[in-house]
Chains A and B, each alone.
Chain A
Amino acid sequence: MNGTLLYFQSTFKTSFEEYITPELLLNGVLLFTSITLSLVLFTYIYLGLKKKKFLVKDRIRKNLELWISHVILEEDDEEVIRIPSKFIKIFRNPLARQYAIDNLIINKKAFSGMVASNIRNLYQHLGFRKDSLRKLKSRTWYVQAKGIQELSMMDQNDQLIRVYRLTNSKNELVRTEAQTAIIQWAGFNGLRFLDVVSYAISEWQQVQLLVQLKNFTPQDMPKLERWLSSKNSTVIIFALKLVEVYQQFGIRRKVEECLLHQKEPVRRQAINTLLKIGDETSAEILIRAYNDEDYANKISILRALAVFANETHFPFLVAELSNSDDHIKLEAARALGAIGGVGVLDQKAAVQPEPYALIAKHIKAELLL
C-alpha cells in the first residue's frame, strides 16, 4: 500500500493532486466502503431480528389466537376464566402480552354485547390493565398515546379524570387520543373538553370525533352556544359541524353571527352549516354577506342559496349569472334551477345564447339526473 502511495506522490503534476491527494481519496474510498459494508451488515442483522421476532410472534399467535376466541365466546357469565398453565409462562413475555392486547382490541372493535364484555373481563383478568396504566405514565409520546388507546378501547372509564387532563397535551397524538378516549367513555358528555382545549383541533381530528359520536344516541348539547363563541376558532368550526349533523335549529341565530367571524374557515363552515339548518331568512343574511366574501365562500353561499332561496332572490342570482367567472355563473344558474328559476335561465339564454343556452341545458340535464 505504501508503495502505491509513494508512486502517486512522486508524480505530482498539477494542483489537483496538491489538494486532492491520493492519500485522501484512498482514505475516503476505504471509509465509504466500510460504512457501506456496515450498513449492509446492519440491514441483515435487522432482517434477522425481525424474522426471529416474527417467528416468536407467530408461535405466540398460534398458541393464543384460538384460546382467546374461545374465551370471548363463552356464554356462561358465572364461569371463571381459567388460564391454562402453559400460558402463564407465555404471558411473562412482553411480546405475548402486547399480542394479546392488540388481539382483544381488534375483536372489541368488531363485537358488542356479550363478546365485548367477555373481552373486557379477559383484559382485566390477565392484568393487561396494569400494562396500559404503565404506558399511560410513559414520557414517550407514542407509548403514552398507546396506553390511552388501550384503556379507552377496553372501557376503563375510571381513568377518565386522568386522561381528561391530557386532552390539552402539547403533543398532538397524545392530545387527540385523549380526546377520542373521552368521547369513547362519556359520549356526548365527553365533549366538555371543548371548554378548555386551547390547541387547534385539526379537521382530521374533527372527522374522527364525528365518526365516533355516531356510536352514541344524540343528546342535548347545552354548551353548544358557548363553544360557538370560543376563543379557539377550531372549536367554533367543530361546534358548527355538530349543529349541522345534529340539526340544532334552535341555535340558528348564533350560527348566523359566525358569518361575521374574522377567520375565513369559520365563516365558510358557518355557510355550510346554514345550508343544512337555514331557511328563507338565512338567504337574506347570506346575500348580504356575499359581496365581502372571498371566492371560495361565494361559491359556498351560492350552493346554500340553491337550498333555501326563493323567487324574491331571483334578481340577485340573475345578476351573478353575468359574473365574469364561469364557476360563479354556473353555481348561480344551478341555484336558480334548484329553486324553480329555470324559466329565468331560459329568458337569459334567449337574450344571450352564448354561453347561457348551454348553461341552461346543463342545468336541465342535471335536474333530470
Chain B
Amino acid sequence: MKILIAEDEPLILQTIELKLKKEGYEVIACVDGLDALQKIDSEKPDLIITDIMMPYMSGLEVIRKVKQDIHSKNIPVIVLSTMGQENIVEEAFELGADDYLKKPFSLSELSIRIKKIARQSKLQ
C-alpha cells in the first residue's frame, strides 16, 4: 500500500515516514501542499495523510482539489493538524476528509486508523 504524507516540518515528516516504512508501507513524503498535489497526480497513492498549515497550499485546499478530481476523489484522506477548532475540523470533513487527528497524536493510533481505512476502502 502506497501512502503519501504532506507535512512541512521535515523532522515530523521523517519520523512518520520511518514509522510507516517499518510497518511495511510504501511512503511518498511531501514538504508542502503544492508538492503533495503534484505527487498525488504522478504517484497515485492509496492513502493521503496531510497537515493543514503548509506553505504554498493549505491541506484543506489539497483535499478540495483531490476530491474534485475524478482520478483522485476516491483516495481516502487523513488530516493531521495542530488546529483542533471545531469549524476547521468540520470544514475538513465537509471537503471530504475521512479522518482527523489532532497533534500531538499517537503514532500507534495513526497506524490503527490507517489499517481501518485501508480495510474500508478494500470493501468498497
A contact residues vs B (CB 8 Å cutoff): 65-66, 69-70, 72-73, 103, 106-116, 214
Distance, CA A115 to CA B12, complexed state (A): 11
B101-112 Cβ-contact flags toward A at 8 Å (1 or 0):
001111111000
Distance, CA A112 to CA B104, complexed state (A): 5
Distance, CA A283 to CA B12, complexed state (A): 50
| Size of B's binding interface in residues, CB under 8 A | 17
B18 within 8 A of A: yes
Please name all residues of chain B whose beta carbon is closer than 8 Å to the beta carbon of A112 when the two chains form the complex: 104-106
Known: A73-B18, A73-B22. A108 touches B104 (CB 8 A): yes
- B106, A114: Cβ atoms closer than 8 Å: yes
Would you list which residues of chain B between 1 and 30 have a CB under 8 Å from chain A? 9, 11-12, 14-15, 18-19, 22
Minimum CB–CB distance from B96 to chain A (whole Å) comes to 23
- B104, A110: Cβ atoms closer than 8 Å: yes
Please name all residues of chain A whose beta carbon is closer than 8 Å to the beta carbon of B109 when the two chains form the complex: 113
- A73, B15: Cβ atoms closer than 8 Å: yes
Distance, CA A214 to CA B102, complexed state (A): 11
Please name all residues of chain A whose beta carbon is closer than 8 Å to the beta carbon of B107 when the two chains form the complex: 73, 111, 113-115
Known pairs A109-B103, A110-B9 / 17 extra A-B pairs, C-beta < 8 Å: A65-B11, A65-B14, A69-B14, A70-B18, A73-B15, A106-B9, A107-B11, A107-B12, A109-B82, A110-B15, A110-B103, A110-B104, A110-B105, A111-B103, A112-B104, A113-B106, A115-B15
Distance, CA A70 to CA B9, complexed state (A): 17
- A109, B104: Cβ atoms closer than 8 Å: yes
B55 within 8 A of A: no
Would you list which residues of chain B between 51 and 108 have a CB under 8 Å from chain A? 82, 84, 103-108
Please name all residues of chain B whose beta carbon is closer than 8 Å to the beta carbon of A103 when the two chains form the complex: 11
Closest 3 A-B residue pairs measured CB to CB? A113-B106, A112-B104, A110-B12
Q: Which residue of A lies closest to B104 (CB)?
A: A112
Q: Which residue of A lies closest to B11 (CB)?
A: A106
- B14, A66: Cβ atoms closer than 8 Å: yes
Residue among A106, A111, A112, A114 with max Cβ neighbours from chain B (10 Å): A111
Minimum CB–CB distance from A311 to chain B (whole Å) comes to 32
- B18, A69: Cβ atoms closer than 8 Å: yes
- A72, B104: Cβ atoms closer than 8 Å: no
Distance, CA A103 to CA B107, complexed state (A): 17
Known: A106-B9, A109-B103, A110-B9. A72 touches B108 (CB 8 A): no
Minimum CB–CB distance from B9 to chain A (whole Å) comes to 6
Distance, CA A110 to CA B105, complexed state (A): 6
Q: Which residue of B lies closest to A113 (CB)?
A: B106
Distance, CA A307 to CA B102, complexed state (A): 31
Minimum CB–CB distance from B57 to chain A (whole Å) comes to 20
Distance, CA A366 to CA B85, complexed state (A): 24
Distance, CA A113 to CA B15, complexed state (A): 14
Residue among B15, B82, B105, B109 with max Cβ neighbours from chain A (10 Å): B15
Minimum CB–CB distance from B43 to chain A (whole Å) comes to 23
Distance, CA A271 to CA B60, complexed state (A): 34
Q: Which residue of A lies closest to B85 (CB)?
A: A214
Minimum CB–CB distance from B12 to chain A (whole Å) comes to 5
Distance, CA A157 to CA B11, complexed state (A): 25
Minimum CB–CB distance from A173 to chain B (whole Å) comes to 22
Distance, CA A66 to CA B82, complexed state (A): 24
Please name all residues of chain A whose beta carbon is closer than 8 Å to the beta carbon of B22 when the two chains form the complex: 73
Can you list 27 A-B contacts with CB-CB less than 8 angstroms, sorted by A residue number? A65-B11, A69-B11, A69-B14, A69-B15, A69-B18, A73-B15, A73-B107, A103-B11, A106-B9, A106-B11, A107-B12, A109-B82, A110-B12, A110-B103, A110-B105, A111-B15, A111-B106, A112-B104, A112-B106, A113-B106, A113-B107, A113-B109, A114-B106, A114-B107, A115-B15, A115-B106, A116-B104
